[in-house]
Amino acid sequence: MATKQISSGTTRDEIREARVALVYFIIHKLKSNDSWCSLLHVQKTYYMAQEMLGIDLGYEFVRYKYGPYCFELTDEIDEARANLLIFADETSPMYGLSYSLARDVIEDLKYKDNNGYEYKNKINFIAEWFGKKQGRELELLTSVYMIMKGDLKRRAITKTKIKELQEWKPHFNEEQIKAAFQEVKAKQQEAEEFLKAQS
């Protein structure tokens, strides 16, 4: 379970500012790890940073077509695009739009990167994992995590959970789901050690 990081005295504008800053940093780090950096890549990276590493700024992710999805996150990305802070450089029939950042945003991120941005190491952890993965892989990994996150101590995913996931994601077969579970389980164990080292 992610740890809530929004205090009772935090204003809505402050929350939004922190959220958008994190989106910028995610795009920056995905690009640094050779990611296509589509909306799907940003959504899935944010989801795992929130759920696996405890960066919780109040977004709610739901089961959706391509895995865990937050409508509010997409709205805020669209607003940043309208304000010319995020650009969509190219499009691909497989991945959709590829995001990049305005020059001023990049310069600010370089400063944060060099001066101890509080979420730097956590975003690096996910971006290094997800950077070179295809969208279909991210869809499966995050969907498995969403279904199994409270039960990752098991040696293997159960038949019941496989059936549940295939009802949501019928295009993935049992072997693909089992392999994704093992990858997520291993990364969860790695994340727990990483968080201990960070504390």
What's the pLDDT tens digit per position in 88-103?
Answer: 987 776 678 899 999 9
Containing 122, the helix (H) or strand (E) segment is helix 120-130
Q: Which residues pair with 98 in a beta bridge?
A: 90
Weakest mean pLDDT among 5-9, 100-104, 169-173: 5-9
Task: Decide if 151 contacts 164 (C-beta within 8 A).
Answer: no
* Exposed e or buried b per residue across 188-198, where buried means at least 16 C-beta atoms within 10 angstroms of its C-beta: eeebeebbeee
Mean pLDDT in the chain? 89
Task: Decide if 35 contacts 131 (C-beta within 8 A).
Answer: yes
Q: What is the pLDDT of residues 21-74, one digit of tens each?
A: 999 999 999 999 999 999 999 999 999 999 999 998 889 999 999 999 999 999
